């Protein structure tokens, strides 16, 4: 359990009409078998991966035996976004793809595994955008759509930040480090930094501790992530848009049969809570079973990875309110 496995998606045609003979889709599986238990698909964030549970899992306090997403009761699946560098796999022409293509690839992966229906489709950050894309393409795929710190489209703010990221990745002499340093400023908040660092100085390095921390995160990402993979993920982030074909948000939400649970972070500077609140207001006019939940935290976007207790409380309410599971 938890080992990276691979599915081959053959003869895949992108939305723009480009044919790929083969795309590797790497995934991890935790908990029960797909055949005998409700399936939960969890989509990772920008520099995350499918390792969602277990000792090094990014949601190890949320997903696991006797935890909120209980691997004793559920089959938990996570795909790696193709091109994110897992097993050294990158996409040379990543601009051929948008997040709708990734959603289609994930859907085809489910089909190959013989999974027709999900109990929950969850995603954090860009993973939540891909979850939205999957629900828009396949409105009956899941019982519960749960985008976390995410949105159904890349806002102007997201597009602006990915634009700066792109420039850093293309023009910096230390592209991964510098892009990560900038990204960390959008994932956290001024209050979070003040609480943590308080203008203290690292005397050994002759840097403010906040600077030292940012440098550390830059090096850390450089050690574990490929430049080509970061460029691809950044490109995809700017493409999220379930209305790209011309249908309105209202029309798409009206087709989605599942409960929709929007989970926002009140201090998120990246995928702002305000955008989710607008979605809720628009969605409520046409759909009763769309709900809004809020993680209260000073830590901003990354709170969905930090505030595990709050995340667990919100998710456990959602999971328990569905009587169709034992």
Residue 290 covered by a domain: yes
Whether residues 15 and 63 share a domain: the answer is: yes
Domain count, the chain: 2
Half-sphere exposure of 142 (CA within 13 A, CB side): 25
- Cα distance between residue 239 and residue 236, in whole Å: 5
Whether residues 218 and 122 share a domain: the answer is: no
What are the b/e assignments for 121-143, b being 16+ CB within 10 Å? Answer: bbbbbbbbbbbbbbbbebbebbb
Whether residues 87 and 203 share a domain: the answer is: no
Residue 280 covered by a domain: yes
> Please, what is the average pLDDT of the chain?
96
Q: pTM above the 0.75 mark?
A: yes
Tell me 234's DSSP state.
H
Residue 28 covered by a domain: yes
Residue 45 covered by a domain: yes
pLDDT, average across residues 143-166: 98
Predicted local distance difference test score (pLDDT) of residue 2? 56
| C-beta separation of 99 from 240 below 8 A | yes
- Taking every pair of Cα atoms in the chain, the longest distance, rounded to a whole number of angstroms, is 59
Predicted local distance difference test score (pLDDT) of residue 295? 98
Residue 326 covered by a domain: no
Domain stops at, among 236, 261, 276? 236
User: In CATH, what number is assigned to the domain containing residue 96?
Assistant: 3.40.50.1820
Domain extent at residue 217? 157-236
Whether residues 280 and 229 share a domain: the answer is: no
Predicted local distance difference test score (pLDDT) of residue 322? 65
Q: Is the pLDDT of residue 1 over 70?
A: no
pLDDT, average across residues 304-318: 98
Predicted local distance difference test score (pLDDT) of residue 320? 87
Give the confidence band of 283 by pLDDT, cuts at 50, 70, 90. very high
Whether residues 274 and 167 share a domain: the answer is: no
User: In CATH, what number is assigned to the domain containing residue 218?
Assistant: 1.10.1740.110
Q: Is the pLDDT of residue 100 over 70?
A: yes
Whether residues 21 and 104 share a domain: the answer is: yes
Question: Sign of the C-alpha dihedral, residues 200, 203, 208, 211?
Answer: negative
Domain stops at, among 236, 254, 284? 236
Angle, in degrees to the nearest 10, between helices 175-187 and 209-224 = 120
pLDDT, average across residues 146-160: 98
Whether residues 33 and 106 share a domain: the answer is: yes
Residue 68 covered by a domain: yes
Whether residues 82 and 170 share a domain: the answer is: no
Whether residues 130 and 275 share a domain: the answer is: yes
Whether residues 37 and 175 share a domain: the answer is: no
Whether residues 167 and 26 share a domain: the answer is: no
Residue 35 covered by a domain: yes
Residue 325 covered by a domain: no
23 closest CA partner among 114, 134, 102: 102
The pairing of strands 19-31 and 75-79 is: antiparallel
pLDDT, average across residues 38-48: 98
Whether residues 17 and 106 share a domain: the answer is: yes
Domain stops at, among 191, 206, 236? 236
């Amino acid at each position: 359990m938890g080992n990276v496995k691979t599915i081959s998606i053959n003869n895949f045609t992108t939305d723009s009409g480009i044919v790929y003979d083969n795309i590797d889709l790497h995934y991890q599986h935790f908990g029960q078998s797909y055949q005998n238990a409700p399936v939960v698909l969890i989509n990772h964030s920008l520099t995350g991966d499918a390792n969602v549970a277990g000792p090094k899992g990014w949601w190890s306090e949320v997903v696991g035996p006797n935890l909120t997403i209980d691997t004793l009761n559920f089959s938990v699946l996570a795909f790696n976004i193709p091109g994110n560098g897992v097993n050294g796999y990158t996409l040379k022409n990543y601009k051929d793809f948008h997040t709708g293509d990734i959603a289609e690839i994930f859907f085809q992966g489910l089909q190959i595994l013989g999974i027709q229906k999900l109990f929950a489709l969850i995603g954090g950050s860009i993973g939540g955008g891909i979850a939205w894309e999957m629900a828009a393409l396949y409105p009956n795929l899941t019982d519960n759509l749960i985008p976390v710190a995410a949105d159904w489209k890349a806002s102007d703010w997201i597009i602006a930040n990915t634009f700066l990221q792109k420039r850093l990745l293309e023009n910096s002499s230390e592209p991964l480090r510098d892009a990560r340093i900038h990204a960390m400023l959008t994932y956290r908040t001024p209050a979070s930094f003040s609480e943590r660092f308080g203008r203290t100085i690292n005397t050994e390095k002759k840097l403010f501790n906040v600077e030292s921390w940012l440098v550390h995160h830059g090096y850390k990402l450089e050690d574990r992530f490929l430049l080509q993979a970061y460029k691809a993920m950044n490109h995809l982030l700017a493409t999220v848009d379930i209305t790209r074909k011309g249908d309105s948000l209202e029309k798409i939400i009206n087709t989605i049969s599942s409960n929709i649970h929007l989970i926002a972070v009140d201090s998120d500077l990246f995928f702002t809570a305000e955008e989710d609140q607008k979605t809720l207001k628009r969605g409520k006019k046409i759909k009763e079973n769309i709900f809004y939940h809020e993680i209260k935290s000073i830590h901003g976007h990354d709170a969905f990875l930090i505030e595990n207790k709050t995340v667990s409380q919100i998710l456990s309410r959602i999971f328990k309110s569905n009587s169709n599971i034992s």
